[in-house]
Amino acid sequence: MSRWEDNVRKVVPYVPGEQPKCTDIIKLNTNENPYGPSPKVMEKTIELEKLRLYPDDKATLLVEAIADYHNVKPSQVFVGVGSDDVIAMAFMTFFNSDKEILFPDITYSFYDVWAELFRIPYKRIAVDDNFRIKREDYYCENGGIIFPNPNAPTGIVESLDFVEDIVKNNTDSCVIVDEAYIDFGGESALSLVDKYDNLLVVRTFSKSRSMAGIRIGYAIGCEKLIKFMNDVKFSYNSYTMNMPSIILGAESIADEEYFRSTVNKVIETREYFVEEIAKLGFTCLPSAANFVFMTHESLQAKEIFEKAKENKIYVRYFNKPRIDNYLRVTIGTKEQMDTFIEFLKSLV
């Protein structure tokens, strides 16, 4: 072995959900939106003629669109290449002490991967038997806190009071609330960012905005938090947001009507799906997201997962303690869910 290998940062990389290349499948495994982005987005591709130039390093067009939309100052908005980039930057920026950071044991599976990559000590705190986060568990010395609300892969949302309790009991730490799925249910913590200087709220264009392919995430917090993040970002890569993401992302924000109508369709389909599969003996955790976390009284989740795949229906199965008899199923179109329901009927 060459000695240069001694210096390599060795990590166990994250394994994303399968992205099959064939197009004749029903893809309910990575929480994408079944509806396309606003048609107005495509009209803007003509502006990509300017690709020879560097994009605006401050992504002003996009940042201002987001700030206007949420009624905050542009200096309170940080944008990144998907919320993964945003959260990774936040970890590097704010979780820089020797104390353990805290997050739930059942949650987005990237948190421990980032902690390992950046050598941040961490502690997973068990959710209760109903998969609920217990707020009191987070009232202790720590180097930072992160949790998604709604949580993933459970879909369970906690109240604004609940979130505020965690934030105000941890004023010496940065608390990150990952709201990737909040548009599908629940109350956002954005209303708290001007009250607590330690709260960072993270959002994404990948779910409710139907633009997973464009890779846009953002964070909103007090100006000071955002300034610290931007300093780190500009020490990493000045031009993370490419021109298509700035131009097409801003246009997506402009089409509120389309956004609301597709989000509502997903919510309606979710409620319909949950009712229908209840008749087949499935129960779902209460979901406020664009997916459900479902289990059956007698059928094994792993078996359903494999058989579904044979039938060209892709859902997500996690072979992990406590959740290995659940499936995470993205809400597709009503037609896609009907096909999946028919498949489930054939198993029961």
Closer Cβ to its own copies, 216 or 304, answer by number: 216
Bridge partners for 7 per DSSP:
none
Closer Cβ to its own copies, 206 or 301, answer by number: 206
Structure tokens at 304: 């359903």
CA torsion, ordered 106, 107, 109, 111, to nearest 10 deg: -110
- Least separation, in Å, of the C-beta of 78 and its own copies? 13
CA distance 316 to 304: 10
Cα dihedral across residues 267, 268, 274, 277: positive or negative = negative
Q: Residue 204, SS3?
A: strand
Closer Cβ to its own copies, 143 or 155, answer by number: 143
83, 176 contact by CB (below 8 A)? no
- Least separation, in Å, of the C-beta of 281 and its own copies? 32
Closer Cβ to its own copies, 23 or 298, answer by number: 23
| Beta-carbon-side half-sphere exposure of residue 220 (alpha carbons within 13 Å) | 24
Closer Cβ to its own copies, 57 or 256, answer by number: 57
- Least separation, in Å, of the C-beta of 275 and its own copies? 26
- Least separation, in Å, of the C-beta of 50 and its own copies? 6
Closer Cβ to its own copies, 118 or 302, answer by number: 118
Closer Cβ to its own copies, 17 or 286, answer by number: 17
- Least separation, in Å, of the C-beta of 187 and its own copies? 24
Give the Å distances, CA to CA, from 39 to 31, 42, 167, 321.
Answer: 21, 6, 39, 42
- Least separation, in Å, of the C-beta of 257 and its own copies? 18
Structure tokens at 250: 């801003």
- Least separation, in Å, of the C-beta of 195 and its own copies? 13
- Least separation, in Å, of the C-beta of 34 and its own copies? 7
Closer Cβ to its own copies, 70 or 209, answer by number: 209
Gap between the terminal Cα atoms of the chain? 54
- Least separation, in Å, of the C-beta of 276 and its own copies? 24
Give the Å distances, CA to CA, from 257 to 74, 248, 260.
Answer: 23, 16, 5
φ, ψ at 176 (rounded to 5°): -105, 125
List b or e across 137-149, with b for residues whose CB sees 16 or more CB atoms inside 10 angstroms. Answer: ebeeebbbbbbbb
Structure tokens at 173: 């730490």
* H-helix or E-strand spanning residue 293: strand 291-296
Closer Cβ to its own copies, 47 or 187, answer by number: 47
Structure tokens at 65: 């669109």
